[in-house]
A and B are shown apart, each in its own frame.
Chain A
Amino acid sequence: MIERIDASRCPACRTIVAPPASYCPHHPVAMEPVSLPGAGEIVSFTTLHSPPTGFKAPLHIALVELEGGARFVCHGAETRGLRIGSPVAIEAVGRVYYFSYLGVVDRARLFWRRAGHAGDRVNAIARSLAKRVWKG
């Protein structure tokens, strides 16, 4: 299951931030609540070997660009094989968000939702398959 992440959008510039903020960082206007799917792509990640008090080493921290645009900071259990651009899911464990590699089922579900109407789905699937074959 893909979780939903609480976020907020600026009515003036459409910037979305997560978690929600009272005001847009770029405009002095109140933001509107929105929610985003807890999935996206790795923008960057790091591993802290001497994390601050209260955290266990090694501490994996990632910056993830959520579908819908907002960037989100979260933890991860490991970074082996992880790259910038890797698709990840975001899940809350307690009140802390973790990224994990996006499973095949989740990716298909996301893809399905993105593809929209049934007529477009077939085309989108064909395009995606073609792209995958071409990319190897």
Chain B
Amino acid sequence: MLDVWVAGAAMTRVGKRTERLQDLMAEAAHGALRAAGVEAPDAIVVAAMNPEEFLGDGNFASNAASHLGFAQAPALRVETATSSGAAAFYAGFGLVAAGLRRAVLVVGGEKMTHLDTPRVSELISRSIDPYERSYGATMPALAGLVTRALMANGVGARELAQVAVKNHANGLQNPQAHFRHAVTLDEVLESRMVADPLRLLHCCPISDGAAAVVLTARRAAVRVAGIGQGSDTLALRHRAALTSFKATQAAAREAFAMAGFGPERVDVAEIHDAFTPFELISLEDTGLVPPGKAGRATLDGETTLHGRLPVNPSGGLKARGHPLAATGLAQIVECVWQVTGRAEGRQTQARVALAHSIGGLATNNWVTLLTAA
């Protein structure tokens, strides 16, 4: 297996955008190619979760490639629900590591704020098991079930709320973030109930945006040290545990085994906090924090920008925003910026970064490890 390097990374500002998805993808892709000093990629991997329903566009690998000005480049599309961006990164990594391609453009994006919230919620919920969906289960509903079980295990309301407070504080420093305002503990604790005991300010927003990286066999500033995928049953009712995600645990094991080091070497992490309880669960599933300690560590400030292990310096899904298929790549872009000293205003002292992405209700998850060369 060849070493794989991230030669360039770029993303759009996340939020309510009026541009077409193809134009958002072009902004990110051309930015990443410029940063990499690569004129044209050997291949393109495109991540888009559901452009068929959100936009009415299909055959999206060719659609995006043609729009980007690379109609002749071999292009394919990867989809694993909300982790599609991480999955596309994995596919691009595989192409380069196998020696099939020398320079691969990986670009992901989603455009959905032009639809009303119930419609967006319904489309996102199609990644849930059909039987559970037939009972009205949405992503927040399943996350509500997980959150109640987590709280029964001793995780407190303040611990869940503090994740949102921290990630909003980080988003304030990130010019690409969807939300650039602070929230207080009380605001989170008093926000409207969405799916008891999950509240509105525990949840990430609906966002538009795109992100891209260029992966090369040629040495560059950032190396992909490890990457792992894990999966679990589509149905939540087919799982024995609600308060940990096997898919993350398997992905982390695989990524750390490839990297040849453990979680203690990680300096900064981007964690999939679509709902704040997921940040606590995932910190433990990845081994970054010992089991049962993530809530306490968060309240103690260990995961702030200046803490022992900064988590979601970008603001996370909570504040940077969650443009579905862009998210897994946006996390990697942030990690690249962190380990190369380009995260202006929110820079941490990091040489090793971890990105963690959840697909669906943790049915198809990724952990990616990046190191400064």
Please give the residue numbers on chain A whose beta carbons come within 8 Å of chain B beta carbons, in ascending order.
Answer: 15, 17-19, 25, 43-55, 59, 61, 63, 70-75, 79, 84, 96
Please give the residue numbers on chain B whose beta carbons come within 8 Å of chain A beta carbons, in ascending order.
Answer: 118, 121-122, 125, 131-132, 135-138, 140-141, 144-149, 152, 192-198, 233-239, 242
Which residue in chain A gives the minimum CB-CB distance to B135? A73
A-B contact pairs, 16 of them (CB 8 A): A46-B145, A47-B195, A48-B138, A48-B140, A48-B141, A48-B194, A49-B193, A49-B195, A50-B118, A53-B118, A55-B136, A61-B141, A73-B135, A73-B137, A84-B148, A96-B135
Collect the chain B residues with CB atoms within 8 Å of residue A51's CB. Answer: 136, 138
Q: Is the CB of B125 within 8 A of A46?
A: no
Q: Is the CB of A43 within 8 A of B242?
A: yes
Q: Is the CB of B238 within 8 A of A61?
A: no
Collect the chain B residues with CB atoms within 8 Å of residue A25's CB. Answer: 233-235, 238
List the 5 shortest-distance A-B pairs measured between CB atoms, nearest first: A46-B144, A71-B237, A44-B145, A55-B136, A47-B196
Interface contacts beyond A46-B148, A48-B194, A49-B195: sample of 11 additional A-B pairs, CB < 8 Å, sorted by A = A25-B234, A25-B238, A44-B152, A47-B144, A47-B195, A47-B196, A48-B140, A55-B136, A71-B238, A71-B239, A75-B136
Collect the chain A residues with CB atoms within 8 Å of residue B236's CB. Answer: 63, 73
Q: Is the CB of A44 within 8 A of B242?
A: yes
Which residue in chain B gives the minimum CB-CB distance to A19? B131
Q: How far apart are the CA atoms of A53 and B238 in the complex, in Å? A: 26
> Closest CB of chain A to B232's CB: distance in Å?
9
Q: Is the CB of B149 within 8 A of A74?
A: no
Q: Is the CB of A49 within 8 A of B192?
A: yes
Q: Is the CB of B118 within 8 A of A44?
A: no
With A43-B149, A53-B122 known as contacts, the answer to whether A73 contacts B237 (CB < 8 A) is yes
Partner of A44, one of B125, B132, B135, B149: B149
Collect the chain B residues with CB atoms within 8 Å of residue A63's CB. Answer: 145, 236-237, 242
Q: How far apart are the CA atoms of A50 and B140 in the complex, in Å? A: 10
Q: Is the CB of A49 within 8 A of B148?
A: no
Q: Is the CB of A46 within 8 A of B118?
A: no
Partner of A74, one of B121, B135, B140, B194: B135
Q: Is the CB of B131 within 8 A of A44?
A: no
Collect the chain B residues with CB atoms within 8 Å of residue A44's CB. Answer: 145-146, 148-149, 152, 242
Which residue in chain B gives the minimum CB-CB distance to A95? B134
With A45-B145, A48-B144, A84-B149 known as contacts, the answer to whether A75 contacts B193 (CB < 8 A) is no
Q: Is the CB of A50 within 8 A of B194?
A: yes
Partner of B237, one of A49, A55, A72: A72
Collect the chain B residues with CB atoms within 8 Å of residue A96's CB. Answer: 135
Q: Is the CB of A52 within 8 A of B136?
A: yes
Q: Is the CB of B149 within 8 A of A59?
A: no
Q: How far apart are the CA atoms of A2 and B234 in the complex, in Å? A: 29
